[in-house]
A and B are shown apart, each in its own frame.
Chain A
């Protein structure tokens, strides 16, 4: 039966044997000395000594038990007790496993995103991302190369500062052109991140802005493995990017996907590899602001000091080049876990709140399991009392009872660990395919495992300790004397039981309120009018500019595409754009409106999109004044643009914007129309001024946008075929209905409402079963009393009232506390809501009513049963 071997105990047994042997030897020797024969002396002494085995056993009892042996014994006892009540054991373990899994799942998502912002990078806690001007989600790249270089070379607080520009390109040279995400990077990019090549080398300082006849490229590990089959001799080989030959100089290590959290980069080139970006390297303003910047703080430097350092430098730069730095130029630094560039800005706004919700679920579950445990201990109080009177001290009893809780939670933790291995990977489901290379997912690593261990131990303590401490208080003598199941000795337990029920209701109410608010938000977002019609729109990206055509060829192909696609049956309107709204991306540019005096610190940045003729028609965006673009607004015609209402009102308030001029990229654009406002990024955004430019004048990427008569998905293949008929080598990507692309804008609302909804459902079930269980139990305990009352003339309604009132009190107190808790918790989520207040009275009242009604129903069932009891049998039942 010994499970746990106790070290040293064998040696002690052996010593005892030797000690007794020595005793016998000495006694026999004395007898022989007195004249007895050896044999007679031995026999006499053996007789006198008695049962040697018994002596040894009793002596060994004196040694006491080591803590390990005690633990083994308590563990066996706990397992025996748990086996005796399989219903309780299975229910509690399952509930705890779900609650722990809820926590560990959210934590694994945090671990995979916020805690691993740049996989493969050394010590990411030292890294900060630099932002110039206003802080917002998904800002545009904030720095020009020259500004970046000044900051990099003149600062006193950084070990290194890197810069990159993110884009996409086609990999040509193979059978099929393939889209790849590429970044122009500063030479120190990998060095600052602490990345070492697995093959070849990374960039040298002198290569940073140097054009090369055959530019150098670094491949990501996965691109090297998939497209180049892990060719060990890849370094030095030439590959084709958009039909330009480039030389592979190195391969990045496995797992490294670039410096922008949650966004994948497949290959890296220098800042000016072809010599075509000279302008971007030698200017500070306008279109030369193109770099994202990340720095590694010097050890011992904090973010505040670094901000001050860079701010001072930036101030000098602004003073020296005021014309290139209108607007707000303050520097803000963010640690990578909440960097506004990439996915973590969104993660940081959502995931910690969900973790807080999960923690509430765990607390709630602990309260529920503690209730069950307490009821079990009350049922076992005779056993406990007997053991106490047999000499078990209170500490031992508590230890054994807590151990039962710990055993449950360890099993639950193991189950949660297995579950989380799967649920951690479900995070990616929330991000539908779109043109951004989003790669976010949860990770299951040692941090999550430690988290689970902590969660489950805490849970075990909470579930076991409280009831155990309470139960061990019961005076043994009284319990043993009490013949009936009278609960007079359990008044303290009753209070604890009530407290636990109140806690469950109080904890589930805020969960329900928050999930209701999230669901309403999701509904409002889905129902919100984005200002354009997307139901019949199909878009397809054509890799024209990256396919290696000359400018004239490109224009010719574009016209051909437009002609062909317009002629497709089922296509109502065909147009071009280089941007799709509500896909978490936007393009920004500095713009100087004619005759406008900016406020101090005002950023003169506008969003911009290049759109073709009939774009507004296909999206049903009304042109309020002026005209839409026509095919004549081409490269030969004067530059024109259409502004939205926000831009018109901001720059020319009370004036006619038509005919006004706006300077962008150093050229004057004339306003020819005003379009109605529509959503750019998120439904709940603050509107930013938007200018539309003519696609045939300044369009860069080519996205074909068609309005279809029927289901847009049906036209996907015909559209792709039509483009391939023009040139079979033209890469076509992201052919999908616009409604699919714009789903990403509500991804986080979906995550929030899905998780909060699940948590709230768990909370509701736990709270209702909790109050049901406690009222049922208490009513059972009072069966005898109720029988007496009925025999003495109490009516059935009296009995019903007696039981119900008890339950209603608990519910009432729970709801009141829960309401206070909910009003506090909803403040956390205010920023995530849309179209509904955090304390929306309708939501709060309906949730309170729902929970109240469910609790009432839960109390009614036992009350009804008590009412139907036959008083005679009830009295007999003791």
Chain B
């Protein structure tokens, strides 16, 4: 069941890059109500118009980490299709975190935007 060390390390690095943003996206998704892992993937894909395809390999580590940090809580429930699944629900702490993540995200977007769209000065004379 164990995987080689190299593969695991490589995989971890990829998560790290995505981590901050993914956390925010998951928390935002849970704002609309408790959801299971598959539901979160589907919701993100729908809302992003099929652009954001979250890999399960990133999703589950992220969910479990969020739970450990106390930003989400989970419980086992029956889905609409009578499937027993683990539903995640955002906590008050998670909502606070989401607000601050969003604030940071907006600042970054703004900063990147101001870099990308700045007009070079016309003349140097």
B79 & A62 in contact (Cβ 8 Å cutoff)? no
**If the complex has contacts A27-B38, A54-B11, A58-B11, are A22 and B84 also in contact, measured as CB distance less than 8 A?**
yes
Stretch of A45-53, A254-262, A843-851 on the interface side: A45-53
- Interface flag for A63 (CB, 8 Å): yes
- Interface flag for B100 (CB, 8 Å): no
**If the complex has contacts A19-B37, A54-B8, are A64 and B83 also in contact, measured as CB distance less than 8 A?**
no
Q: Of B3, B36, B39, which is within 8 A of A54 by CB?
A: B3
**If the complex has contacts A26-B85, A27-B38, A50-B55, are A57 and B64 also in contact, measured as CB distance less than 8 A?**
no
A22 & B8 in contact (Cβ 8 Å cutoff)? no
Q: How far is the CA of A740 from the CA of B97 in the complex (A)?
A: 86
Q: How far is the CA of A390 from the CA of B8 in the complex (A)?
A: 17
- Interface flag for B65 (CB, 8 Å): yes
Chain A residues contacting B20 (CB-CB under 8 Å) are: none
Closest residue to B1 on the A side, CB-wise? Answer: A53
Closest residue to A54 on the B side, CB-wise? Answer: B3
Q: How far is the CA of A51 from the CA of B86 in the complex (A)?
A: 20
Q: Of B37, B39, B56, B65, which is within 8 A of A50 by CB?
A: B56
**If the complex has contacts A54-B8, A63-B68, are A19 and B61 also in contact, measured as CB distance less than 8 A?**
no
Chain B residues contacting A30 (CB-CB under 8 Å) are: 42
- Interface flag for B49 (CB, 8 Å): no
Chain A residues contacting B61 (CB-CB under 8 Å) are: 55, 58-59, 61-62
- Interface flag for B2 (CB, 8 Å): yes
Digit string of B39-82 for contact with A (CB within 8 Å is 1, else 0)?
Answer: 10010000000000001110011001100100000000001010
Q: Of B1, B12, B37, B81, which is within 8 A of A58 by CB?
A: B12
Closest residue to A58 on the B side, CB-wise? Answer: B61
Chain B residues contacting A55 (CB-CB under 8 Å) are: 56-57, 60-61
Q: How far is the CA of A728 from the CA of B50 in the complex (A)?
A: 119
Q: How far is the CA of A53 from the CA of B83 in the complex (A)?
A: 22
Q: How far is the CB of B73 from chain A (nearest CB, A)?
A: 14
A49 & B56 in contact (Cβ 8 Å cutoff)? yes
**If the complex has contacts A22-B38, A51-B57, A55-B57, are A64 and B68 also in contact, measured as CB distance less than 8 A?**
yes
Q: How far is the CB of A702 from chain B (nearest CB, A)?
A: 89
Chain B residues contacting A62 (CB-CB under 8 Å) are: 61, 64-65, 68
Q: Of B15, B55, B85, which is within 8 A of A22 by CB?
A: B85
Q: Of B11, B55, B56, which is within 8 A of A23 by CB?
A: B56
Q: How far is the CA of A54 from the CA of B8 in the complex (A)?
A: 7
Chain A residues contacting B15 (CB-CB under 8 Å) are: 58
- Interface flag for A29 (CB, 8 Å): yes
Chain B residues contacting A53 (CB-CB under 8 Å) are: 1-3
A54 & B84 in contact (Cβ 8 Å cutoff)? no
Chain A residues contacting B2 (CB-CB under 8 Å) are: 53, 57
Digit string of A60-84 for contact with B (CB within 8 Å is 1, else 0)?
Answer: 0111100000000000000000000
Q: Of A22, A27, A61, which is within 8 A of B86 by CB?
A: A22
- Interface flag for B7 (CB, 8 Å): yes
Chain B residues contacting A50 (CB-CB under 8 Å) are: 55-57
A19 & B86 in contact (Cβ 8 Å cutoff)? yes
- Interface flag for A308 (CB, 8 Å): no
Q: How far is the CB of B62 from chain A (nearest CB, A)?
A: 8
Chain A residues contacting B3 (CB-CB under 8 Å) are: 51, 53-54, 57
Digit string of A8-26 for contact with B (CB within 8 Å is 1, else 0)?
Answer: 0000000110111011011
**If the complex has contacts A62-B61, A63-B64, A64-B68, are A22 and B11 also in contact, measured as CB distance less than 8 A?**
no
Closest residue to A50 on the B side, CB-wise? Answer: B57
Q: How far is the CA of A55 from the CA of B121 in the complex (A)?
A: 50
**If the complex has contacts A57-B3, A62-B68, are A22 and B83 also in contact, measured as CB distance less than 8 A?**
yes
Q: How far is the CB of A8 from chain B (nearest CB, A)?
A: 14
B8 & A19 in contact (Cβ 8 Å cutoff)? no
Q: How far is the CA of A50 from the CA of B10 in the complex (A)?
A: 14
**If the complex has contacts A57-B2, A58-B57, are A22 and B36 also in contact, measured as CB distance less than 8 A?**
yes
Chain B residues contacting A27 (CB-CB under 8 Å) are: 38
Chain B residues contacting A15 (CB-CB under 8 Å) are: 86
Chain B residues contacting A49 (CB-CB under 8 Å) are: 56-57
Q: How far is the CA of A26 from the CA of B39 in the complex (A)?
A: 9
Q: How far is the CB of A62 from chain B (nearest CB, A)?
A: 4
> Which of B37, B56, B85 counts the most chain A CB atoms within 10 A?
B56
Q: How far is the CA of A762 from the CA of B44 in the complex (A)?
A: 74
Q: How far is the CA of A50 from the CA of B1 in the complex (A)?
A: 14
Chain A residues contacting B68 (CB-CB under 8 Å) are: 62-64
Interface residues of B in 9-37 (CB under 8 A from A): 11-12, 15, 36-37
Q: How far is the CB of B82 from chain A (nearest CB, A)?
A: 11
B11 & A59 in contact (Cβ 8 Å cutoff)? no
Q: How far is the CB of B110 from chain A (nearest CB, A)?
A: 31
Q: How far is the CA of A61 from the CA of B65 in the complex (A)?
A: 9
Q: How far is the CB of A313 from chain B (nearest CB, A)?
A: 72
Closest residue to A55 on the B side, CB-wise? Answer: B57
Q: How far is the CA of A55 from the CA of B8 in the complex (A)?
A: 9
Closest residue to A49 on the B side, CB-wise? Answer: B56
Chain A residues contacting B64 (CB-CB under 8 Å) are: 16, 59, 62-63
Q: How far is the CA of A53 from the CA of B57 in the complex (A)?
A: 10
Q: How far is the CA of A49 from the CA of B3 in the complex (A)?
A: 16
**If the complex has contacts A54-B3, A58-B12, A59-B61, are A26 and B81 also in contact, measured as CB distance less than 8 A?**
yes
Q: How far is the CB of A19 from chain B (nearest CB, A)?
A: 5
Q: How far is the CA of A25 from the CA of B86 in the complex (A)?
A: 13
**If the complex has contacts A54-B3, A55-B60, are A26 and B65 also in contact, measured as CB distance less than 8 A?**
no
Q: How far is the CB of B94 from chain A (nearest CB, A)?
A: 16
B60 & A59 in contact (Cβ 8 Å cutoff)? yes
Q: How far is the CB of B5 from chain A (nearest CB, A)?
A: 11
> Which of A16, A51, A54 counts the most chain B CB atoms within 10 A?
A54
Q: How far is the CA of A59 from the CA of B8 in the complex (A)?
A: 11
Q: Of B39, B57, B81, which is within 8 A of A29 by CB?
A: B81
Q: How far is the CA of A718 from the CA of B38 in the complex (A)?
A: 107
Closest residue to B74 on the A side, CB-wise? Answer: A19
Closest residue to B69 on the A side, CB-wise? Answer: A62
Q: How far is the CB of B111 from chain A (nearest CB, A)?
A: 28
**If the complex has contacts A54-B11, A59-B64, are A23 and B38 also in contact, measured as CB distance less than 8 A?**
yes
14 CB contacts below 8 A, A to B, read: A18-B84, A20-B56, A22-B38, A22-B85, A23-B37, A25-B83, A26-B36, A26-B79, A29-B81, A50-B57, A56-B1, A57-B8, A59-B64, A62-B68
10 nearest CB pairs, A to B:
A62-B64, A62-B65, A22-B85, A26-B38, A23-B38, A59-B60, A19-B86, A59-B61, A55-B57, A58-B61
Known: A23-B56, A25-B83. 10 other contacts (CB 8 A): A19-B37, A19-B60, A19-B86, A20-B60, A26-B36, A29-B83, A50-B56, A53-B3, A55-B57, A56-B1
